[in-house]
């Protein structure tokens, strides 16, 4: 089945039919919550002279929009929503202006937030950028409330928004996309599938993503503005991350990494933890283990070669680290994955039959 298509937002774009034709606004709605069965598709769109592509996964109460856009001119887009929703908005690249009702916000690269929006108009403003990458996870109001207690505590303001039919953001200051969220977003990207067990996997990742977002919000409220960083400081930490990922076979000291991005060791340790929610060492170890698992599952490499690729001089040290991280020896990981998928397929079949 070919799921590649070009779509139009139709009556979701708040312009007349004539105006639509004049401006050539073809776009896929961010908020298309469906109560029907799960599905996925890919497509192309353009807004004025700005072109992009998107991938969508939808299930009852959940809608994931993952899009890359090349923006050559500033452009405003208007969408009309018909149901109240919660949106987990992650701006991995570029900048996007967001307005629902009288509430405005601008999300820059490597930042995220959570928006509640009642039925009504949503305005987007695209800012010029060679690449804008957005991941927007939309949850129906019913789905969100079933998962998250919002009647008291830190999230009581969200209940007030629902009661007054008003739009509002979870955090007053946009939060940094930390390492846990990055890993989940990477797993979500390209994982859309028609198979039942993949749909369960995606929905589980969405819940995990929401949990990390709420945890980060709690930490921000506890620590106040000292928790946030300037965009230039965030950029440096992402550069450190890139250096580590591109050189997993090479060891860099904290002093070396700090000098490479124009900061000092003290700021590096503090800022890296604020941006990614983990230490440089812990991040590096997890990245090595994730890469090792990927190489082993792909096949074609000896364990000793995988060890060298991930920066281990001695295979025995690599094996020990791998078992400590995953709870299984490197040469057993393939068998564990096969058994896991077989068990998951059985669970999915039972759930499908129960739904029928």
Q: CB under 8 Å to 219, separation ≥6 — which residues?
A: 227
Q: Output the average pLDDT for the chain.
A: 79
Given this model, what pLDDT does residue 10 score?
31
Most confident segment among 33-42, 57-66, 73-82, 244-253: 244-253
Q: Where are the domains of the chain?
A: 4-178
Residue 22 has what pLDDT?
A: 35
Could you say which DSSP state residue 69 is in?
A: E
Q: Beta strand 39-47 with 4-6: parallel, antiparallel or unpaired? A: parallel
Interatomic CA distance for residues 83 and 282, integer angstroms: 42
Phi, psi (rounded to 5 degrees) for 2: -95, 115
pTM: 0.69
Q: Does domain 4-178 have CATH number 3.30.465.10?
A: no
Q: What is the pLDDT of residues 94-146, one digit of tens each?
A: 888 988 878 889 998 888 999 999 988 888 887 888 888 999 999 999 989 88
Contact indicator for 53, 43 with CB cutoff of 8 Å: yes
Residues 6+ apart with CB under 8 A from 172: none
What tokens does 212 get? 């990390």
Task: Give start and end residues of each alpha helix (H) in 130-230.
Answer: 141-147, 156-164, 179-188, 196-223
Q: What was the pLDDT predicted at 347?
A: 46
CA distances, 42 to each of 25, 54, 245 (Å) = 18, 6, 28
């Amino acid at each position: 089945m070919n799921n590649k298509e070009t779509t139009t937002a139709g009556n979701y774009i708040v312009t007349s039919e004539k105006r639509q034709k004049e401006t050539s606004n073809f776009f896929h709605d961010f908020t298309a919550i469906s109560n029907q069965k799960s599905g996925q598709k890919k497509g192309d769109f353009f807004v004025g002279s700005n072109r992009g592509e998107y991938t969508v996964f939808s299930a009852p109460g959940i809608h994931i929009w993952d899009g890359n856009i090349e923006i050559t001119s500033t452009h405003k887009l208007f969408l009309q929503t018909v149901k109240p929703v919660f949106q987990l908005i992650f701006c991995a690249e570029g900048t996007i202006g967001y307005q629902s009702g009288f509430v405005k916000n601008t999300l820059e690269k490597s930042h995220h937030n959570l928006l509640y929006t009642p039925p009504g108009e949503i305005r987007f403003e695209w800012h010029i950028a060679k690449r804008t990458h957005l991941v927007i996870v939309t949850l129906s109001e019913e789905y969100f409330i079933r998962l998250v207690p919002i009647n008291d505590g830190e999230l009581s303001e969200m209940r007030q928004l629902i009661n007054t039919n008003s739009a509002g953001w979870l955090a007053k200051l946009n939060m940094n996309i930390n390492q846990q969220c990055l890993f989940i977003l990477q797993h979500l990207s390209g994982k859309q599938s028609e198979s039942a067990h993949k749909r369960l996997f995606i929905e589980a990742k969405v819940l995990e993503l929401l949990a990390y977002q709420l945890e980060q919000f709690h930490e921000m409220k506890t620590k106040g503005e000292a928790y946030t960083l300037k965009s230039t400081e965030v950029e440096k930490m992402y550069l450190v991350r890139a250096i580590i990922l591109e050189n997993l076979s090479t060891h860099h000291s904290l002093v070396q990494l700090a000098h490479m991005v124009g900061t000092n060791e003290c700021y590096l340790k503090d800022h890296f933890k604020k941006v990614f929610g983990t230490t440089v060492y812990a991040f590096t170890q997890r990245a090595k283990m994730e890469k090792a698992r990927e190489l082993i599952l792909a096949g074609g490499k000896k364990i000793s070669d995988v060890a060298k690729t991930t920066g281990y001089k001695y295979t025995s040290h690599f094996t020990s680290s791998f078992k400590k991280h995953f709870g299984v020896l490197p040469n057993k990981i393939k068998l564990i994955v096969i058994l896991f998928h077989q068990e998951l397929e059985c669970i999915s079949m039972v759930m499908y039959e129960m739904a029928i």
